[in-house]
Structure 1
C-alpha cells in the first residue's frame, strides 16, 4: 500500500505515571512500517523520571506531545480526537506490546466503507487466543459485556477494548463527545462510545490480525488499587443507567456482583464484606446522578 492510497492514521496514546513501558510503546509505534501516520502522546503525568524525560525529548520531532494537568483518561482521549488530523484514529494503551504491522492490520478493514470501527485482538501476557465464544456474547441487549477480545475469529462486534481500537475520525465527531462522566479508572468509557457508534448504524469488526499483548502494569494508568472497586461499580451503574432499561440493569448488576464480589470473596474472603458495601454505595451514588449530562472538555 503506497502513501498516496493509504489513509492517514493518528495513533493516540494517553498516558499517566508510566515510564519505561511508555517509552517502549512509543518506540514500537514509531517503528511501524506504515508511513502515513502521526503519533499523539497525551501525557497527564506530574513529573517523569529523568530517563523518560530524555527519551521524550529525543523523539519530540517524531511525535506530537500534549500535556494535560488533570488526570482523566476520557478527557485525554477526547483531546486526542480533537487534536488528530488523520482519517483513522487508532487508540493504544501505554503498556502494550505488538509485532510490526498493527496499523496496517487496522487500516485494511477500512477498504469496506461500511466499517467505521475495528476492535483488535487483545491478549494477556503468556496466554493465547480463544477459539470459541459463549452464546451469551451474542445477546443483543448485553452481550457486549461478555465478548472475549482474545477471540481468534473475525466477526462483527459492538465493542472494542480501549487499549487496541480504531475508528474513522468523522464517525467519532458525528456521534458526539467522549463522555467525561466515566471517572477515576474510567471503566466503560470506550464501550459507551462504541455502543453509540453501533446504535448510529456504524459497523465495528473484531479483527484478530490487529493483535496486541496488554501488559496491564500494576503501577500507573487507571489502576488505583484503593479506589478500583468503587470506581468500577460507579462507572458500571452509570453506564447501565444511561443505556439500559430497569430490568436489564438489575440482571447485569447481579452478574457483576456475582463475578466481582462473590467469586472474588470466595478466593479472598476478607474482601467480601467491604466489596459488598462498595457495591451498594456505588449503586446509591449513581441513583442520585441519573440526571447528569455528558460533558466535554
Structure 2
C-alpha cells in the first residue's frame, strides 16, 4: 500500500439487522480477499459449514468495483447467516485487511485464513485448545500438513505462516496490529508481527493439528510471484531492509545475519538476473524505499487510530 493512498482509506461494514452480530464470540475467523472471484467462495462455504453460532466470520472485501455476478450473488446469499459479516475496504493491503478484521472482531481469539484454503476438520477447536496455555499468544497453523523438519517436535515456534494463523486479541491490540508498510506478496509482515508477539512476552504455539490446504491458483500465490520479474524483488528486499531498520538498538544488528541468510536462500533471483544491472538497480530502489518507510512509521499509528475510532 502506498503511503499516498492511506489518507483516502474508506471502510464500510454491510449493515445487518440481527442482534447476534455484536455479542461476544468464541473465535473470529478473518478472511481477507482481493480480486479473487472463485477461490473465496469455496473457502468461505467450507468455514460456514463448520462455524457455530458462537463464532463469527469476517470477510474483508478489497475487491475492485468490477464484481462478477456469481461473487455478488454469493455475498448476498451468505449475509443471511448471523455468523457472517462483510466489511469493504477501498485499499488492497493484506496487513491492513488483517488489522481491520482484528479491530472489528467480537472475540478473544482471531483466526486468519487466506481466501484460497481448504479447511481441515476441527480446525476451530484445535486452535482454541492451544490457548489453555496462558503463555500462548498465537498459534501457527499447519498448511498442507507440512512443517519444517526442525519444527515438527517443537512445542513453540518463532513465526506463523500468514495464510493460517491465530492470535489473542488482547495481544494483537497491545502490539497495535500488523505493520501496514509491508507491501507486496510474501512480504514477511506476519513474521515481523510474530516477532513482536514474542517480544511482548508470549509464545507462538506449533499448531501441527490445525490443518488447512492451499489451493494456489496458477497465476497467484506467493510461490509464483517471483516470476513477475524484478519488481517483485524490489518489494521483497524493501520489506526486509525496512524490517532491519525499524528494530531498536542492538537487535538491529544481531539479527542481520538471519535476514541476509533468508534473502540469499529464498529470495535470490536466477544467476542471469543476479549479476544484471537491473537487479542492482532493484536493490538500490529497495534500499531507498526502506529508508522512506522507516521515516514514515508514524503512518502506522495514524491508520491504527483511524481504524480504532
Return the TM-score normalized by structure 2.
0.78
Structure 2: how far apart are the matches of 1:129 and 1:254?
25
Find the counterpart in structure 1 of residue 241 from structure 2: 237
Find the counterpart in structure 2 of residue 80 from structure 1: 101
Q: Deviations over 1:195-223 (max 9, x none)?
A: 11110101211111001122233546777
CA contact (8 A) 1:12 1:80 kept: yes
Find the counterpart in structure 2 of residue 16 from structure 1: 34
Counting only pairs closer than 5 Å after superposition, residues 1-297 of structure 1 correspond to structure 2 as 8-32=26-50, 34-46=52-64, 47-62=66-81, 63-123=84-144, 129-130=146-147, 132-133=149-150, 151-185=151-185, 187-219=187-219, 225=228, 227-243=231-247, 244-246=251-253, 248-249=255-256, 251-260=257-266, 262=268, 264-266=269-271, 269-270=272-273, 273=276, 274-294=278-298, 295=300, 296=304, 297=307
Root-mean-square deviation (Å): 2.5
Find the counterpart in structure 2 of residue 140 from structure 1: none
Structure 2: how far apart are the matches of 1:129 and 1:253?
23
Return the TM-score normalized by structure 1.
0.80
Alpha-carbon distance, 1:271 to partner: 6.4
Aligned pair in 2 of structure 1 residues 86, 236: CA closer, same or farther (>3 Å)? same
Q: Which blocks of at least 5 consecutive residues in structure 1 are unaligned?
A: 1-5, 134-150
Aligned pair in 2 of structure 1 residues 219, 40: CA closer, same or farther (>3 Å)? farther
Aligned pair in 2 of structure 1 residues 154, 212: CA closer, same or farther (>3 Å)? farther
Q: Deviations over 1:126-145 (max 9, x none)?
A: xx635722xxxxxxxxxxxx
Find the counterpart in structure 2 of residue 142 from structure 1: none
CA contact (8 A) 2:137 2:167 kept: yes
Of structures 1 and 2, the one scoring higher in RCO (CA 8 A, sep 6+) is 1
Aligned pair in 2 of structure 1 residues 261, 276: CA closer, same or farther (>3 Å)? farther
Structure 1: how far apart are the matches of 2:265 and 2:148?
22
Comparing 188-197 with 285-294, greater Cα deviation is found at 285-294
Aligned pair in 2 of structure 1 residues 130, 91: CA closer, same or farther (>3 Å)? closer
